[in-house]
A and B are shown apart, each in its own frame.
Chain A
Amino acid sequence: QKEVEQNSGPLSVPEGAIASLNCTYSDRGSQSFFWYRQYSGKSPELIMSIYSNGDKEDGRFTAQLNKASQYVSLLIRDSQPSDSATYLCAVCPSSASKIIFGSGTRLSIRP
């Protein structure tokens, strides 16, 4: 089992709709969870961090965390073509400062 799992996609969503990205992780003791956005040929950009169960909203982005289910998600409301990118879920395991990344989900927003 991979430490952080994501569906590779591509996930195609019409412009203006809600894009939902999901991630599961294996280390039950993990405390820190992140979503990074990576455009093709560019470096990852931190867009959301979440540390406690529930929802965290920042503009059009909402991160959701359920530690009991070992599940993290990212919702993007009012999707824009500029949201088309690969979204990387990242988890900081309980015993380390390194971050473990999922392989990413490619999101495509169609006009």
Chain B
Amino acid sequence: NAGVMQNPRHLVRRRGQEARLRCSPMKGHSHVYWYRQLPEEGLKFMVYLQKENIIDESGMPKERFSAEFPKEGPSILRIQQVVRGDSAAYFCASSPPEKTDTQYFGPGTRLTVL
């Protein structure tokens, strides 16, 4: 049973470009969560999604950030017009529908904004 998959593992963007981060949950998991970890800091919740629905986006910055989890395909975290402060590790986690508080993390995408 493959774990949570994220790609790319490393992403370099210049200021003003767009970053797209992808996450495929574990098989049988229909709930996806995105977290951001700044250097030397803890994990900060960003957004919680089910297929075709955003359940909780209370941690998402109001501008430039969006997330989706379409019926088919991976969940996407999109950051428009990136700035240096967006440089961080972005982790995706997934959980089974019957146990949403038990989350398993992917390897993360490390975004560097030049």
A88 vs B41: C-alpha distance in the bound complex, in angstroms? 11
Please give the distance in Å from A103's CB to the nearest CB on chain B. 4
Once A and B bind, how many residue pairs between them come within 8 Å at the CB atom? 50
A44 vs B113: C-alpha distance in the bound complex, in angstroms? 23
A92 vs B102: C-alpha distance in the bound complex, in angstroms? 9
Q: Interface residues of B, CB < 8 Å — how many?
A: 23
Q: Interface residues of A, CB < 8 Å — how many?
A: 20
Give A residues with C-beta under 8 Å from B: 32, 34, 36, 42-46, 49, 88, 92, 96-104
Give B residues with C-beta under 8 Å from A: 31, 33, 35, 41-45, 48, 55-56, 58-59, 91, 100-108
**Could you list 13 further interchain pairs (A-B, Cβ under 8 angstroms) beyond the known A88-B43, A97-B55?**
A34-B101, A44-B43, A46-B102, A49-B102, A97-B56, A97-B100, A97-B101, A98-B59, A99-B33, A99-B45, A100-B45, A101-B35, A103-B42
